[in-house]
Structure 1
């Protein structure tokens, strides 16, 4: 807890450069900026510069925190290509961990592009987030036209679901042998997905366990994807392959996904890695 509180204290001042935190959830890593006490002038160019793993800090998503009247905090997600995302499950858990420790609460409400999300302290360093009900209408995912979301008219018959962002979920025999760098871009930019899509590949181990690998929209494979795990659990259950409560084994570790009557709950760990400050020289060079 002390590490989190110390990290949040660093974000209190923006006098010299721009303070940030680096966190990850199962290797899905994030830069977190706090705009609650001072303005953070985010732009697509700024997200791209910070996200570069050689010339910047590097992240899978960038997170900006802001004050909110109807929730404990408002969260905006940015991808490495400078676009924004409506949802990011692992980043939501990381922010939840910070705010739980900052406030001493055991339950929170967070606002994202997905809407208001409920959070609860799960014990043992774990955080549970209700990611809301899946979007199962073709217009909400969104898709380009009306199709069967359980079996899309794409080779391999993937399923589709929205979790505040679009997902295309394949069930395969051997997930380890897949070339994500080859397949990911093909389906990310498929004509059926007008806003591009995250692409998940599942291997069913049993009715309560799956192995998943993911290519995230924005052009990169990641070690974990919380919204992708939620969407995958939904698609697998709708295909009749699993129960509603499953363990999903990702490259970075395990997530517990439980599709309940009130939404898809995701439970997993978080880790604060380090705090830092983006120099004014670095920021001044961003066009």
Structure 2
């Protein structure tokens, strides 16, 4: 079976997009995802995106990390799908319904209001999610927020100095996070500017994480560190994040189609 794909990226966070809206594909087993995502023997990506038909939206989107795990949401993938669809659309994800709209600065993505209850993150037991009484070496007292997927956010003086490649996997897999966690380390430059690095659950260090930018911006706003509209600078580029008065988050930024191709399914099954 010959399967077409589109290779895309959002600020360097890259995807293989498979479109099964008109022709169904075999089951995406974790081993197939890992094989396709392999940068040496496969196509190579941080996440594999599967588009499927939906009765309630323009499409349904499923998101698989390169380790084969399926996750609820991906902000950069939302923008990539917005570029593919090329018009205003609603897309159903496991993390909620998202609205996509072409914008002069790329694609504007409207997300559901963030959740802050401890069992909505989720955490293993009740605690204050604005300032978790937890620490891992120099990283202490993060905020926790669910923006369709779970995040903790550490505010530090210099996020570039944090050994995130070492601490990220330790925090991600801590038993206090039953569904694992995305780890963000942020430096607030001023009330409109944040620098951010992200260890992404199931993917590792990433050049950009759209939901991480949303979670970090909201956490900074809740702590009184930032205004309701900020620019978040990631290693791959910048995203504009606004937290509207109705609770919805709007993330705006670019996404790019790199190339198209096809592969034999049986080569990776």
TM-score by length of 2: 0.95
> Is 1:21 the counterpart of 2:6 in the alignment?
yes
> Is 1:240 the counterpart of 2:224 in the alignment?
yes
Q: Alignment length, in residue pairs?
A: 263
Unaligned runs of 5+ in 2: none
The corresponding residue for 1:276 is: 261
1:1-287 counterparts in 2 under 5 A?
17-41=2-26, 42-100=28-86, 105=87, 107-124=88-105, 126-155=106-135, 156-260=140-244, 261-280=246-265, 282-283=267-268, 286=269
SS at match of 1:139: helix
Q: CA deviation at 1:80?
A: 1.1
Measure the CA separation in 1 of the matches of 2:130 and 2:177.
15
SS at match of 2:78: helix
Q: Give deviations 1:103-130, integer Å, cap 9, x for gaps.
A: xx3x211111122211212125x10001
Measure the CA separation in 1 of the matches of 2:145 and 2:234.
19
Measure the CA separation in 1 of the matches of 2:102 and 2:14.
21
Q: CA deviation at 1:280?
A: 4.5
Measure the CA separation in 1 of the matches of 2:29 and 2:49.
12
Measure the CA separation in 2 of the matches of 1:234 and 1:78.
25
Root mean square deviation of aligned Cα: 1.2
Q: Give deviations 1:149-184, integer Å, cap 9, x for gaps.
A: 011121211100001111011001111122221011
Asked if structure 1 preserves the Cα contact closer than 8 Å seen for 2:154 and 2:185, the reply is: yes
The corresponding residue for 1:3 is: none
Q: Give deviations 1:28-67, integer Å, cap 9, x for gaps.
A: 1100001112122211111111111111111111100011
Q: Give deviations 1:193-247, integer Å, cap 9, x for gaps.
A: 1110000000010001000000000141000000111110111111111111110
TM-score by length of 1: 0.89
Asked if structure 2 preserves the Cα contact closer than 8 Å seen for 1:143 and 1:193, the reply is: yes
Unaligned runs of 5+ in 1: 1-15
